[in-house]
Structure 1
């Protein structure tokens, strides 16, 4: 799944191995992989975030189906030697934006972006997402100021829960 159309540097280690392992199976099941995160510590957690390709909101049954398939793959391949907690979830309404297509799909909504370097003197941006240009520059308007953030400089991005986003989410459920 990971290529130049996704946020952040190409990740390595456990998350990359797991992404390569589970992405084809999740895609074949009719879902899209949104994010894989592995956090260590006292209680290591593997988070698999997915969404349905048909646009229907994820259900508990969808998450359980993905969890069963991913667990079977991970049991066979055993990419994590220690005990860990598997968490399968949907991206939710205030979802992370991880691919270039997300910045087009969610244009018009409020977004928070953290850059991995200073851009126009700052690393954090919040405002209305205007979209992404062909050259890979994400445009965000904060009041009267428009910021242009190179896609490859984005460390994290997510939608901000607003009334507009809530309305769009409930409208999508009605269709």
Structure 2
């Protein structure tokens, strides 16, 4: 029977299997509950990959990860394997995370405790460019500021903001009348 392995040991085993699939091993977590364990593996695309991390690629990677874990026999007892992507709620911590978030709305907290919120437009060398956007009040258009260059070394926390504007029914009269013919 295998001894209980730590996340770092499992990471070392899984990185080559994931890399062989053309992906990046973003994170490994092991949760134990009694005699059972859950191994949670987060995958990402390399920075230069413009493709999508779709279900087919995740499925192929899951098989490779499962095979690598079975061959190494490092997880003691029965375990559940969960393989997926980082998800939208995870912080942006690597340059490649920012590259994949270009075009999305982000909130960036800096080392000096200031916060910049807006559209991430570019990642150049060790900097990101964010165009600040302040939401408009009561139906007014948002205020768009001048682009701000931020050093990645000054970023303490950054997250993609889920933008749900434009979803759902239109509430104003102009929008309700737009679909009616005269």
TM over 0.5: yes
Partner of 2:42: 49
TM-score by length of 1: 0.58
CA drift at 1:152: 7.3
**1:100 and 1:152 mapped to 2: Cα distance?**
13
Deviation of 1:72 (Å): 1.8
Equivalent residues in 2 for 1:146-165, closer than 5 Å: 146=148, 148-151=150-153, 153-154=155-156, 157-162=158-163
Greater RCO, 1 or 2 (C-alpha within 8 Å, sep 6+): 1
CA contact (8 A) 1:34 1:98 kept: no
Residue deviations 1:84-134, cap 9 Å, x none?
431111345x37545313323432311244x6xx62225x65432243342
Give the distance between the partners of 1:126 and 1:36, measured in 2 at CA. Answer: 26
Give the aligned length.
144
- Cα distance in 1, alignment partners of residues 99 and 155 from structure 2: 17
Query: What is the TM-score normalised by the length of structure 2?
Result: 0.56
Alpha-carbon distance in structure 1 between the residues aligned to 2:152 and 2:44: 26
- Structure 2's unaligned 5+ residue stretches are 134-144, 168-182
Q: Secondary structure at the match of 2:23?
A: strand
Corresponding residue for residue 121 of structure 1: 113
2:57 is the alignment partner of 1:62: yes
Q: How does 1:1-175 map to 2 (within 5 A)?
A: 14-29=6-21, 31-42=22-33, 44-51=37-44, 53=49, 55-59=51-55, 61-81=56-76, 83-91=78-86, 94=88, 96=90, 97-113=92-108, 119-122=111-114, 126-134=117-125, 136-143=126-133, 144=145, 146=148, 148-151=150-153, 153-154=155-156, 157-162=158-163
**Distance change >3 Å, CA 120–CA 35, structure 1 → 2:** same
Q: Which has the larger radius of gyration?
A: 2
CA distance in 2, matches of 1:54, 1:141: 23
CA contact (8 A) 2:10 2:28 kept: no
More helix per residue: 1 or 2? 1
Gaps (5+ residues) in structure 1?
Answer: 1-12, 167-175
- For the residue of structure 2 that corresponds to 1:22, the secondary structure is helix
